[in-house]
Amino acid sequence: MRIDVVTIFPEYLAPLDLSLAGRAQESGLVEVVTHDLRDWTTDRHRSVDDTPYGGGAGMVMRPGPWGDALDAVTSAECVVIVPTPAGEVFTQAVAAELATCGHLVFACGRYEGIDQRVVDDAADRWPVRELSLGDFVLNGGEVAALAMIEAVVRLVPGFMGNPASLAEESHGVDGLLEYPVYTKPATWRGREVPEVLLSGHHERIAAWRREQSVARTAERRPDLLP
């Protein structure tokens, strides 16, 4: 998989080289290339934003540099991703879908957003996904892109050492939250590991974990229950 990220803060993406995704890059499974949007500016001040038509607070990213940047880094087979709090919610299902793509291009906006014509123009040529991490506001798309890239890359076939751990985690196949986990010692600060987990009884353990998952989901995320 090839991933291009266009941003005015390429340094924001540096953690990708350290994290899980860094390993995937070393193994050649994934290649992430970041680009500075200002490389596609033509004015002396390398400006990327301007005041919004219709008035209002903040600045909007100009279409010119974005159009040229996307023309340069896209390919016939790519999917363009625009992180924005106004997007559809990025879920594990979206991550799994994107993990099957050969080429992802992230367009990270700052300020109040990117001129909508950039997105509309891109959508005439490539599949475009405007995606949000959830109902809160970040200063720009960079941190969101980092999160999405990590979520996608770990689903690329061949990335995870143990694919079973993908199936059992939160938002896995049954869509429930993960059950609580414990390791040695069996007693710590007077707190015991639940007895059933020491029993060696695999069916009882599976039933207990299922029960914990359902209870946790009902308590914290009732919207996820079927």
Q: Is 104 in the site for ligand 6GU (CB under 6 A)?
A: no
Dihedral over alpha carbons 181, 187, 191, 194 (to 10 degrees): 50
212: left (phi over 0), alpha (psi -120 to 50) or beta: alpha
- Nearer of residues 29 and 97 to ligand 6GU, judged by Cβ: 97
Q: Is 65 in the site for ligand 6GU (CB under 6 A)?
A: no
CA 5 – CA 36 distance, rounded (Å): 9
Helix (H/G/I), strand (E/B), else coil: 17: helix
Q: Is 63 in the site for ligand 6GU (CB under 6 A)?
A: no
137 is in an annotated binding site: yes
Beta strand residue intervals within the chain, DSSP E: 2-7, 31-36, 49-50, 60-61, 79-89, 103-107, 128-132, 187-188, 191-192
x/- site string to ligand 6GU, residues 124 to 163, per CB under 6 A?
Answer: -------xxxx-xxx-xx--x-------------------
Q: Is 6 in the site for ligand 6GU (CB under 6 A)?
A: no
Contact residues for ligand 6GU, defined by CB under 6 A = 83-85, 131-134, 136-138, 140-141, 144
Binding site for S-adenosyl-L-methionine, by residue number, is: 109, 133-138
Binding site, by residue number, is: 109, 133-138
